């Protein structure tokens, strides 16, 4: 309802919360992803649908920023080596945890 229009009655001003009422009002209405996509593209061009970012640790994020900010190739390479070492240690720790879970029959 538009702001400049007053509701004709109290029934019009309160939305229906009953599930059966809404299904009888629009029994065959199906909203598709394409419809939502079109509405968002037309009415909200600055909003975007995208995949969620995976969680990364703080240290990895710091390395990423340092690599982007590094002035020389030598500095970038040093940070990349530290980042790779950190990544390998993290993967090894995760593998150990997984092995421990299997060994303890904990699921």
Domain ranges in the chain?
A: 58-103
How would residue 35 be classed by pLDDT, with cut points 50, 70 and 90?
confident
pTM above 0.95, yes or no: no
How would residue 19 be classed by pLDDT, with cut points 50, 70 and 90?
low
Give pLDDT, residue 47.
78
pLDDT tens figures, 59-77? 988 999 999 999 999 999 9
For 1, residues 6+ apart whose C-beta sits below 8 A from its C-beta are 7, 12
Give pLDDT, residue 45.
81
Q: Closest by alpha carbon to 61, among 27, 40, 87, 42? A: 87
How would residue 10 be classed by pLDDT, with cut points 50, 70 and 90?
very low
């Amino acid at each position: 309802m538009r702001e400049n229009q007053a509701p004709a009655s109290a029934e019009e001003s309160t939305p229906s919360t009953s599930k059966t009422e809404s299904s009888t009002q629009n029994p065959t209405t199906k909203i598709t992803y394409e419809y939502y996509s079109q509405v968002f593209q037309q009415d909200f061009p600055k909003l975007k649908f995208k995949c969620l970012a995976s969680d990364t640790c703080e240290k990895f994020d710091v390395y990423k920023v340092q690599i982007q900010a590094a002035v020389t190739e030598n500095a970038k390479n040093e940070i990349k080596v530290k980042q790779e070492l950190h990544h390998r240690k993290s993967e090894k720790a995760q593998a150990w945890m997984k092995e421990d879970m299997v060994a303890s029959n904990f699921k």
